[in-house]
Amino acid sequence: MSLANSGRRLVGKLRAENSVFLLCDIQERFRPLIWRGETVVTTSRYLTSVAKALDIPVVITQQYTKVFGDTVKDCFADPADLEKYPIFEKKKFSMCTEEVSEHMNSLNKESVILFGIEAHVCVQQTCLDLLEQGKDVHIIVDAASSQQAFDREIALQRMSQAGAFLTTAQSAAFMLMQSAEHANFKAVSKLTVEHMKLPNEFNEALTSSSKI
């Protein structure tokens, strides 16, 4: 590994041409069970829209679809976009199945933007597997959750301690562009403005706790 690459890995800078989005198991059966679940869904919609605007690949997994259902269509601004991305069925908790790993190798991306559910199970195990493979892993904290808030909190700490970068959807989006001179800056800015009009339960909880 070159010193340049080593430095980039250390600070976790994202580049659109070297990134991939991983959407982990945001399925219909889980939707009403997840803590701050609706914010996870709306933030996922923002992320997939950013991926589309910046032409970044998206990889989707579904955990035992027969039981837990399909990926929530509301994770996409246009439900038809769901058909454009590869969806991998799995029973393994980690997204890093043999099929997904083969697909990831074909994409040849170093930075992984990971979000989904549950944070302490499938997301965490995916994160650790990717870190072992030498990937830069960026966890979108406003698009990752569990059924219990405590499980989510400890999982975020665990992934950070292992070397993952915790970030927010907006932070990742603007880092991917790097400059207001980016050709798709206006499109992503518009997506951001619309996203900010929606309730963010994580932000509201933080604001409420700071007032106590």
Residue 25 is among the residues annotated as catalytic for this protein: yes
What is Dmax (Cα atoms) for the chain? 50
Among residues 206, 212, 24, 1, the alpha carbon closest in space to that of 116 is found at 24
Report which of 45, 55, 59, 22 is spatially closest to residue 176, judged by C-alpha positions: 55
HSE-CB of 117 using CA atoms within 13 angstroms: 30
A 10 A CB-CB count for 153 gives 13
Active site residue 109: no
Is 122 one of the catalytic residues? yes
Distance between CA atoms of residues 175 and 114, nearest Å: 15
Catalytic residue among 24, 122, 127, 136: 122
Which of the following is catalytic: 24, 75, 90, 136? 90
Residues annotated as part of the active site: 25, 90, 122
